[in-house]
Amino acid sequence: MDLFQKCREFKDVERIQAAGLYAYFREISSQQDPEVIIGGRPVIMLGSNNYLGLTSHPLVKERAAAAAMKYGSGCAGSRFLNGTLDIHVELEEKLAAFVRKEAALVFSTGFQTNLGAISTLAGKDDVIYIDKADHASIIDGCRLSFAKVRKFNHLDLGHLEQLLAAEGDAPGKLVVVDGVFSMEGDIFPVDRLVELAPKYGLKVMVDDAHGLGVLGESGRGTAIHFGVNDRVDLVMGTFSKSLASVGGFLAGPAEVINWVKHKARPLIFSAAPPPASVAAVTAALEVIENEPERLQRLWDNTRALMEGLRGMGYDLGETATPIIPVIVGEDMLAFKMVVRLQELGVFANPVISPATPPGRALIRNSLMATHEPVHLERALEAFRTAGREFGLVP
């Protein structure tokens, strides 16, 4: 068969586009504020991971611009060779302090962080345990490691323990979980997870892409939220959510970070994060420390939208974070809802299988600290109108 035959036969997108229901790759012509410009008109942004609203913070933008002027637009090489700047090292020190670990290592993307960390630490004789709802980057990192992979039912620590007990002795055991699950906003019970670690010789890694800036003291993440940071071995984080940039990092014991630093192919063979991105993250960390009221506003907005949607009769699942899923059921209904919401002035994201189980398609909403009450009122009215039209709410 011609290698490209599957590409020619791929008609799903064309069918959705022909029906006027395509809701991906929408062009935004403004910064990621509570309102963005699409097609020349403002819409309320409920589809961004800009939880603390820092992508448009003056200090963040000023530091990014200044770094570009000083260091140029890029590093022209990998961290391993010529691409490590003094600001990369400074940021790593600040990140380690922020999540209260010995050391940290900055990668060019969050996806690469998981690929590099997992595939470098676990090998073909080791076993990795992952939640069935873990992020795709965790799954791909497991594949690259050649380790045995055991998936346990979502949030089911009883099932995890069964798998651990059945495995017996293994050279190394690692469990990797999302701190906050990106589609439905539920939180992994890390406090209960760490109880299993000593019994089974298990190392614990938490992907805190959606927990940093959201949970814990000053937004320091899921492990600190549960008070078990000293019992979590590794914390992974991204810059593309609360930290207002692009990139990722791994934090943990200094000797582990040193190993990954000298072994991880996604780090060694990728260009270093550009100066503007690095400086933006450093500035974002300063803002988080100096403006704690942002975290409070984020949670005030979260509660307001949750209460409004639940009051209408929407099913929000088990979310406990600023990620608020509106569960609608069928994939096509998710597309129809998102298109209708945009017509009503609200940007939200459709999430369909396989990102969710079949029959559990949802509208993914996420809050920012910078949303004002008027934004939430208008968004709720749009959800009321669309929900009634499609029979989702009375």
- Token pair in block for residue 80: 């391993």
Residues constituting the chain: 394
Res 171: pLDDT:
86
58-290: CATH number: 3.40.640.10
Known catalytic residues are 182, 210, 241
* Distance spanning both ends of the chain, measured CA to CA: 52
The candidate with the shortest Cα–Cα distance to 232, out of 254, 206, 256, 255, is 206
Place of tokens 């630490």: 121
Query: β-strand 173-178 against 127-131: which pairing, if any?
Result: parallel
Listed in sequence order, the DSSP H helices in the chain are: 5-9, 12-18, 58-71, 86-98, 110-121, 136-145, 157-167, 190-200, 222-225, 254-263, 265-268, 275-290, 293-312, 331-343, 373-389
What is the spatial distance between Cα 392 and Cα 315, in angstroms, rounded to a whole number? 9
Tens digits of pLDDT across the chain (394 residues): 799 999 999 999 999 999 999 999 999 999 999 999 999 999 999 999 999 999 999 999 999 999 999 999 999 999 999 999 999 999 999 999 999 999 999 999 999 999 999 999 999 999 999 999 999 999 999 999 999 999 999 999 999 999 999 988 878 999 999 999 999 999 999 999 999 999 999 999 999 999 999 999 999 999 999 999 999 999 999 999 999 999 999 999 999 999 999 999 999 999 999 999 999 999 999 999 999 999 999 999 999 999 999 999 999 999 999 999 999 999 999 999 999 999 999 999 999 988 899 999 999 999 999 999 999 999 999 999 999 999 999 9
The candidate with the shortest Cα–Cα distance to 252, out of 385, 113, 76, is 113
Q: What fold does the segment set 5-56+292-389 form as a domain?
A: Aspartate Aminotransferase, domain 1 (3.90.1150)
Res 1: pLDDT:
77
CA 282 to chain centre: 19
Res 170: pLDDT:
76
Q: Where in the chain is the domain with CATH 3.40.640.10?
A: 58-290
Res 142: pLDDT:
98
Res 278: pLDDT:
98
User: What strands lie across the sheet with 361-366, from one edge to the other?
Assistant: 323-329, 361-366, 349-351
Res 107: pLDDT:
98
The H or E element containing residue 54 is none
What is the spatial distance between Cα 223 and Cα 229, in angstroms, rounded to a whole number? 5
* Residue type (1 letter), 230: D
Contact of 176 with 235, CB cutoff 8 Å: no
pLDDT tens sequence across 188-220: 999 999 999 999 999 999 999 999 999 999 999
Res 254: pLDDT:
98
Q: Judge if the upstream peptide bond of residue 357 is cis by omega within 30 degrees of 0.
A: no
Res 38: pLDDT:
97
Q: Where in the chain is the domain with CATH 3.90.1150.10?
A: 5-56+292-389
